[in-house]
Chain A
Amino acid sequence: MTSRWPQRSRRALLVSGIAVVCSAHVGTFDVFFAGKAGAYDVQVTVRPPGVIPGLAQIDIRVGNAGVRRVTAQAAQWNLGARGAPAPDEARAVAGAPGLYSTQLWLMTSASYAINVAVEGTQGVGRVVVPVSAVATKRLPMVPGLGWTLAGLGVFLTVGALTIVRAAAAESTLPPGEEPDVGRKWRGRGAAAVGGVVVGALLFGGWNWWNGVDGGYARRIFRPLHATAAVRSVDGSRVVRISIDDGRWARRESSPLVPDHGKMMHLFLVDASAMNAFAHLHPTLIDSATFDAVLGTVPSGRYRFYADIVHESGFAETLTGELDVPQATPNERPADGDDAVWAAPAAAGDTARLSDGSMLVWHRGPRRSARVDDPLRFSVVTPDGSPAELEAYLGMPAHALVSRDDGKVFVHLHAGGSFAMASQQVLEAIQRGDTLPSVRAGASPRAVVRSDMAPMAGHTARRWRGDSLTFPFAFPSAGQYRLWVQVKRGGVVQTGAFDTVVGEAAAR
């Protein structure tokens, strides 16, 4: 046992049932992966426990026959598989062919690699799914349990005092002798003193509990605090994102690495009706400051979501609000990978893109929260044939999902909901026999940069737009807007859709 002395208890507010803004995304920590594990097509869903240490639910769907064994292992980022327990076998789920399930312990608040392995007739296939493990909630005590515990507490308290009374009044009497009046009063007096002692102990215990609860509330994950402000530079509007969090200044978390070749993915969402949206890529000014040209972003009040990835593979989204002033006549053009969209969502399942092609959402009749329901789209030319898509940040398409109140925001790509950089870092660490950060010339930044170099070359790659699938489950009920972005003719095209998600089915 590691000796870890408890921190000094401090009284704090009792919080209950907190579900908060979350890491790589906002409003959910669930991770979805879809892709290849060797020769096998797999979809992995990781539902972190919300408390740390806690059990994460791992569901693995294998699309191939001939599977003999599926395993999963949770490896803390800096220790890798060598510092992880032996993989757990995922059990086949009855009535769901190809679905395997297990639970893994996430013991620390850190970035984790979920190492999935599929063994079968086509050999062994492996894939790493990154998960950011942090405490996000505290389970409230259900009234039934609370009353049961309170009842048992009262029973134990009264029982203890009764024992004290008996101990003082009767236990020292010779057998058979009845306690006289004086002894009876002595028993009552002892019970009264015992009551004071037990009351003090209960009060101390209550304070202790409150202290633990307050300490836990302070450990619930908060993304780094950031502010956004727009200023004018040479007649152009430039948004500056500043990380002004003491934890960042104290270097409590590891430095950043680029994801999809960008140090930050900044999303602006019109705070009133979500009818304006921008996907920008600020450049690094210093370790806490990022600038991006706003280009044609309309004026108004915006929510901002800034995705960053740390060297540990830990991904988080900085959030806040900002006011964007009126555009000037001399606005500089934004980065070539930036995109600005300002229009209402499509009325139905088809959105017309700016080059005349159509983005079609192939959705089912209804959607429920927490139900795996991949989002399927296709892009077709006006004559109905599949459109050719260029690589947009190394991917055929990106999707952004936001609930109307802004409390949910998720960045998806065809591989899933995780940051590609997280996966690259964790794979690199596990390939090595020592920590990359201490191996000269092989820091995670170098790894990601070197891996991104060929990705940059992928700009020449083309995809057919007839099947774009994003593995996903809406985390909660509500009114949602989806933006889907593809690149055609060197221009990022954005289509938007609205949808309503119902409550999760009772389990």
Chain B
Amino acid sequence: MGVTVLSPSAAAGRTTTRAFAVPWHIPAVLFASTSMVVGVIWDISWHMTIGRDTFWTPAHLAIYVGGVVGGLASGYVVLKTTFAGSPEDRAASVRFWGFRGPLGTWVAIWGAIAMLTSAPFDDWWHNAYGLDVQILSPPHVVLALGIIAVAVGAMLGTLARQNRTDARGGWIDRGYAYAAGLVLTFVAILATEYTDRILHHSSIFYSVASAAFPFVLIGASRASRLKWPATTIAAVYMLVTAMMVWILPLFPAEPLLGPIRRQITHMVPMDFPLLLIAPAFVIDLAAHRAREEKAWFMSVSYGVIFFVVLLVAQFGFSYFLMSRWSINPIFATDNFDYSMPNTWYKVRRDFYPWDATEGAMRWRFVVAVVLAVLSSRLGMAWGNWMRRVRR
């Protein structure tokens, strides 16, 4: 446990904490979050490459380890705070059914229990409806909520510490941005079925991206004390995802489920990350010039920026991704799963015609802008609250 020195600051109406050492549970939950991100991406790659799995695959173990470490570390903090906590620890906690602990620990514990709940649910689901081959199913959503909750718990844990200290640019600021980047990565994984590169010229990709990402990017970055928070958070997402794209194919593997339509000798990675760093950078630029009191104006600005910059960046970049130039270890656009037929758009390197007409696509782009604005507004509200979280 780290040593903290408290110095009341009555003028500011807040308690300022200077941490001399890292409390062990903060890196523990950050490790938990990292383990789960790696595990989930590894597991999806496993299903793209090998197909057959058991409870004990290394990818599953990485997810379980994350859940167990996140849940147990948080549970320990709660028990210690409740029954043997210092006055300072108890003062920086919230109540939950008679127990006390920082908000982030409760969120992480909730996530761990949700992950536990999903296990028998998912097992029954497979027995009742067959092994699901998609990411989004009700039990998988329960698992995803649990995983994201553990990751958000890690984020809130670092956030409360960050908000209790005056120092800027320290480990806790970076730790928070890293935790937020992992949350963004989870959200991106959940949206995977709608962010495939063959959809990058379709309205559905921009609608889903506009609904999901501004909320996390803007919400998390508002509470960050870094100069380029959205850029940093998006960079964490891109780096983590890209690292998995680069590392996984280094391992030999072959399919153990049929039908096998492709010769596969190594792990197949997920798609190269989305260029979220582009809208994130422009959002940071706008935030540097923003006037705080005009929340809706800022939301509209952020939403439009996100949509336009993502459209320009991803629409253009996808030409490269769909070309044969991108078949290399960096972009890995030969990442076809073992059962993908040669006739599928991705193999043919064609964009999927989601929108029947260009007119329909333009109209849906308008809807995507509205979604981006609403997502930004919600993100701002969330971020404003997170700025004030101290427990």
**Given A170-B95, A216-B129, A79 and B117 contact (CB-CB distance below 8 Å):** no
Q: Quote the shortest CB–CB distance from B245 to chain A (angstroms).
A: 14
In the complex, what distance in Å separates the CA atom of A148 from the CA atom of B97? 21
Let me know if A3 and B103 touch, CB within 8 A.
Answer: no
Interface residue? A272 (CB, 8 A): no
Interface residue? A306 (CB, 8 A): no
Cβ–Cβ < 8 Å partners of B135 in chain A:
1
Interface residue? A454 (CB, 8 A): no
Cβ–Cβ < 8 Å partners of B17 in chain A:
175
Cβ–Cβ < 8 Å partners of A83 in chain B:
258-261
In the complex, what distance in Å separates the CA atom of A138 from the CA atom of B94? 45
Q: Quote the shortest CB–CB distance from A205 to chain B (angstroms).
A: 6
Q: How large is the interface on B (under 10, 10 to 19, 20 to 34, 35 or more residues)?
A: 35 or more
Let me know if A173 and B390 touch, CB within 8 A.
Answer: yes
Let me know if A2 and B124 touch, CB within 8 A.
Answer: no
Cβ–Cβ < 8 Å partners of B138 in chain A:
205, 208-209, 212
User: Which residues of chain B (276-309) have a CB below 8 Å from chain A?
Assistant: none
In the complex, what distance in Å separates the CA atom of A82 from the CA atom of B263? 10
- Among B128, B192, B260, the residue within 8 A (CB) of A79 is B260
Interface residue? A4 (CB, 8 A): yes
Q: Quote the shortest CB–CB distance from B4 to chain A (angstroms).
A: 11
Chain B 119-150: CB-based contact to A (< 8 A → 1; otherwise 0): 01100101111110111111001000000000
- Among A1, A107, A159, A160, the residue within 8 A (CB) of B44 is A1
CB closest chain-B residue, reference A135: B130
Let me know if B88 and A156 touch, CB within 8 A.
Answer: no
Interface residue? B114 (CB, 8 A): yes
Q: How large is the interface on A (under 10, 10 to 19, 20 to 34, 35 or more residues)?
A: 35 or more
**Given A4-B133, A148-B120, A174 and B128 contact (CB-CB distance below 8 Å):** no
Interface residue? A58 (CB, 8 A): no
User: Which residues of chain B (341-391) have a CB below 8 Å from chain A?
Assistant: 344, 346, 352, 385, 388-391
Let me know if B258 and A141 touch, CB within 8 A.
Answer: no
Interface residue? A108 (CB, 8 A): yes
Let me know if A51 and B390 touch, CB within 8 A.
Answer: no
Let me know if A145 and B120 touch, CB within 8 A.
Answer: yes
Let me know if A172 and B133 touch, CB within 8 A.
Answer: no
Cβ–Cβ < 8 Å partners of A152 in chain B:
113, 116-117
Most buried by B among A52, A138, A166: A166
Interface residue? B218 (CB, 8 A): no
Q: Quote the shortest CB–CB distance from A365 to chain B (angstroms).
A: 35
- Among A2, A139, A159, A170, the residue within 8 A (CB) of B128 is A139
Interface residue? B250 (CB, 8 A): no
In the complex, what distance in Å separates the CA atom of A135 from the CA atom of B132? 13
Most buried by A among B97, B107, B128, B141: B128
Q: Quote the shortest CB–CB distance from B261 to chain A (angstroms).
A: 6
- Among B15, B124, B133, B258, the residue within 8 A (CB) of A74 is B258
Q: Quote the shortest CB–CB distance from A366 to chain B (angstroms).
A: 31
- Among B15, B47, B88, B198, the residue within 8 A (CB) of A3 is B198
Let me know if A6 and B136 touch, CB within 8 A.
Answer: yes
Interface residue? B14 (CB, 8 A): yes
**Given A4-B133, A83-B261, A163-B106, A171 and B389 contact (CB-CB distance below 8 Å):** yes
Q: Quote the shortest CB–CB distance from A302 to chain B (angstroms).
A: 36
Q: Give 9 closest A-B pairs by Cβ, nearest first.
A: A176-B91, A172-B388, A51-B130, A166-B94, A175-B91, A139-B128, A53-B131, A170-B94, A175-B92
Known: A176-B92, A209-B138. 18 other contacts (CB 8 A): A1-B48, A3-B198, A6-B134, A79-B260, A84-B258, A86-B254, A105-B257, A107-B339, A135-B130, A139-B127, A149-B117, A160-B110, A163-B107, A167-B389, A169-B94, A176-B15, A205-B141, A212-B137
Instruction: Name 27 A/B residue pairs within 8 A (Cβ), A-sorted.
Output: A1-B47, A1-B192, A1-B270, A2-B340, A2-B344, A3-B198, A51-B130, A74-B258, A79-B260, A83-B260, A84-B260, A85-B51, A107-B258, A141-B124, A149-B120, A152-B113, A153-B117, A163-B103, A163-B106, A166-B95, A167-B385, A170-B103, A170-B391, A171-B160, A174-B15, A175-B91, A175-B391
Name A residues whose Cβ lies closer than 8 Å to a Cβ of B.
1-6, 49, 51-54, 74-76, 79, 82-86, 105, 107-108, 135, 138-141, 145, 148-149, 152-153, 155-156, 159-160, 162-163, 166-167, 169-176, 205, 208-209, 212-213, 216
